[in-house]
Protein backbone atom coordinates (compact mmCIF):
# COMPACT_ATOMS: atom_id res chain seq x y z
CA UNK A 1 0.00 0.00 0.00
CA UNK A 2 2.81 2.45 0.83
CA UNK A 3 4.52 1.67 -2.47
CA UNK A 4 1.32 2.48 -4.36
CA UNK A 5 0.86 5.77 -2.50
CA UNK A 6 4.48 6.77 -3.12
CA UNK A 7 4.16 5.85 -6.79
CA UNK A 8 0.96 7.88 -7.03
CA UNK A 9 2.60 11.00 -5.57
CA UNK A 10 5.72 10.62 -7.72
CA UNK A 11 3.71 9.97 -10.85
CA UNK A 12 1.55 13.05 -10.27
CA UNK A 13 4.71 15.11 -9.92
CA UNK A 14 6.28 13.74 -13.11
CA UNK A 15 3.11 14.20 -15.18
CA UNK A 16 2.75 17.78 -14.04
CA UNK A 17 6.36 18.94 -13.92
CA UNK A 18 8.68 16.71 -15.94
CA UNK A 19 7.04 15.40 -19.09
CA UNK A 20 10.41 14.35 -20.53
CA UNK A 21 10.45 11.37 -18.14
CA UNK A 22 7.35 9.82 -19.69
CA UNK A 23 8.89 6.34 -19.99
CA UNK A 24 9.57 6.30 -16.25
CA UNK A 25 5.97 7.26 -15.52
CA UNK A 26 4.75 4.56 -17.90
CA UNK A 27 6.72 1.91 -16.04
CA UNK A 28 5.31 3.05 -12.71
CA UNK A 29 1.73 3.26 -13.96
CA UNK A 30 1.88 -0.22 -15.50
CA UNK A 31 3.52 -1.80 -12.46
CA UNK A 32 1.27 -0.29 -9.80
CA UNK A 33 -2.00 -0.45 -11.79
CA UNK A 34 -3.27 2.83 -10.37
CA UNK A 35 -7.07 2.93 -10.08
CA UNK A 36 -7.31 6.72 -9.85
CA UNK A 37 -9.36 7.73 -12.92
CA UNK A 38 -8.22 11.35 -12.88
CA UNK A 39 -4.55 10.39 -12.64
CA UNK A 40 -4.93 7.86 -15.46
CA UNK A 41 -6.64 10.48 -17.62
CA UNK A 42 -3.89 13.03 -16.94
CA UNK A 43 -1.25 10.42 -17.70
CA UNK A 44 -3.04 9.54 -20.94
CA UNK A 45 -3.09 13.20 -21.97
CA UNK A 46 0.64 13.43 -21.32
CA UNK A 47 1.16 10.31 -23.45
CA UNK A 48 -0.89 11.77 -26.30
CA UNK A 49 1.17 14.98 -26.14
CA UNK A 50 4.33 12.86 -26.37
CA UNK A 51 2.92 10.80 -29.27
CA UNK A 52 2.73 7.60 -27.18
CA UNK A 53 -0.76 6.61 -28.28
CA UNK A 54 -0.62 2.96 -27.23
CA UNK A 55 0.29 3.94 -23.65
CA UNK A 56 -2.41 6.60 -23.77
CA UNK A 57 -5.01 4.00 -24.80
CA UNK A 58 -4.05 1.74 -21.90
CA UNK A 59 -4.29 4.64 -19.45
CA UNK A 60 -7.67 5.73 -20.84
CA UNK A 61 -8.85 2.14 -20.49
CA UNK A 62 -7.85 2.13 -16.80
CA UNK A 63 -9.71 5.46 -16.49
CA UNK A 64 -12.78 3.81 -18.05
CA UNK A 65 -12.94 6.29 -20.92
CA UNK A 66 -13.62 3.98 -23.85
CA UNK A 67 -14.17 6.74 -26.43
CA UNK A 68 -10.64 8.00 -25.84
CA UNK A 69 -9.31 4.42 -25.95
CA UNK A 70 -10.63 4.01 -29.48
CA UNK A 71 -9.37 7.42 -30.54
CA UNK A 72 -5.89 6.68 -29.17
CA UNK A 73 -5.71 3.31 -30.95
CA UNK A 74 -6.78 4.95 -34.21
CA UNK A 75 -4.02 7.51 -33.83
CA UNK A 76 -1.55 4.76 -32.93
CA UNK A 77 -2.43 2.90 -36.12
CA UNK A 78 -2.23 6.17 -38.11
CA UNK A 79 -5.86 5.81 -39.17
CA UNK A 80 -6.85 9.25 -37.96
Residue 13 DSSP label: H
Q: How confident is the model at residue 80 (pLDDT cuts 50, 70, 90)?
A: low
Q: What is d(CA 57, CA 30) in angstroms, rounded to the nearest whole number?
A: 12
Write the burial class of residue 36 (CB in 10 Å: 0-12 exposed, 13-18 middle, 19+ buried).
Answer: middle
Q: Between 10 and 68, where is the model more confident? A: 68
Q: pLDDT tens, 9-65? A: 887 887 788 777 878 878 877 777 777 888 888 888 888 888 888 888 888 898 898
Q: How many CA atoms lie within 13 A of 56 on its CB side?
A: 22
Q: Are 53 and 63 a contacting pair, CB within 8 Å?
A: no
Q: Nearest-CA neighbor of 50 among 12, 3, 18, 13?
A: 18
Domain boundaries, the chain: 2-76
Amino acid sequence: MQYEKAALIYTKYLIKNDKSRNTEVTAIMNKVKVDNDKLNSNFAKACVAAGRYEDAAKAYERAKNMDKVQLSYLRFRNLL
